[in-house]
């Protein structure tokens, strides 16, 4: 029952909380936003690399610690793309929406990619809590694939 509750929490509550605060250009200068964005990406890369190196060790305590760092960095990263902060190597398509033929509303595909990334990290954390090595490997693989596809699509 606790696992079902966690999955529901990850699916419905966490995304709502993440959208609660978005950085705006009124909050910070363009340079501050871009520098923070780059620092968070480096933190994500570093944490992911460290997890990758120890993933088969079954050192769940350390993987849990690193996944917390990774999750916090990813959540902060997601909010660092306010309208008007187009700059650097990021693709313009981050700030545009696309038509979804199955939906009359617009969909922000970059937001979907970043939310999937956050969900993947949450699954890593859940697999660590369950000490499920197979689930951990699958979750990490999914997260890494998501990184690659997002970079391919959105890094200018």
**Is the pTM of the predicted complex or chain greater than 0.75?**
yes
Look at residue 60 and give its three-state secondary structure: helix
31: Cα within 13 Å, side-chain hemisphere: 0
- Residue 120 near residue 67, CB atoms below 8 Å: no
Residue 16 lies inside a defined structural domain of this protein: no
CATH assignment of the domain containing 73: 1.20.120.10
Residue 14 lies inside a defined structural domain of this protein: no
Query: Is 83's pLDDT higher than 70?
Result: yes
- For residue 142, the enclosing domain spans 31-154
26-64 pLDDT, tens digit per residue, is 667 888 888 999 999 999 999 999 999 999 998 999 999
Higher-scoring residue by pLDDT: 65, 153: 65
For the chain, the domain total comes to 1
Residue 65 lies inside a defined structural domain of this protein: yes
Residue 25 lies inside a defined structural domain of this protein: no
2-27 pLDDT, tens digit per residue, is 665 455 445 544 444 444 445 565 66
b/e code 91-127 from CB counts within 10 Å (16+ = b) = eeebeeeeeeeeeeeeeebbbebbbebbbbbbbbbbb
Residue 3 lies inside a defined structural domain of this protein: no
Q: What is the rounded CA–CA span in Å between residue 134 and residue 145?
A: 17
């Amino acid at each position: 029952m606790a696992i079902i509750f966690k999955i529901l929490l990850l699916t419905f509550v966490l995304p709502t909380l993440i959208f609660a605060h978005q950085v705006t250009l009124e909050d910070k200068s363009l340079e501050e936003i871009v520098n923070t964005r780059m620092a968070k990406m480096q933190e994500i890369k570093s944490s992911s690399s460290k997890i990758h190196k120890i993933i088969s060790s079954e050192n769940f305590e350390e993987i849990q610690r690193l996944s917390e760092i990774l999750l916090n960095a990813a959540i902060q990263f997601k909010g660092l793309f306010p309208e008007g902060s187009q700059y650097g190597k990021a693709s313009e398509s981050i700030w545009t929406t696309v038509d979804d033929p199955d939906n009359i509303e617009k969909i922000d595909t970059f937001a979907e990619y970043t939310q999937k990334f956050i969900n993947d990290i949450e699954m890593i954390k859940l697999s660590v809590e369950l000490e499920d090595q197979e689930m951990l490997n699958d979750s990490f693989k999914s997260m890494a694939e998501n990184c690659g596809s997002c970079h391919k699509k959105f890094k200018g």
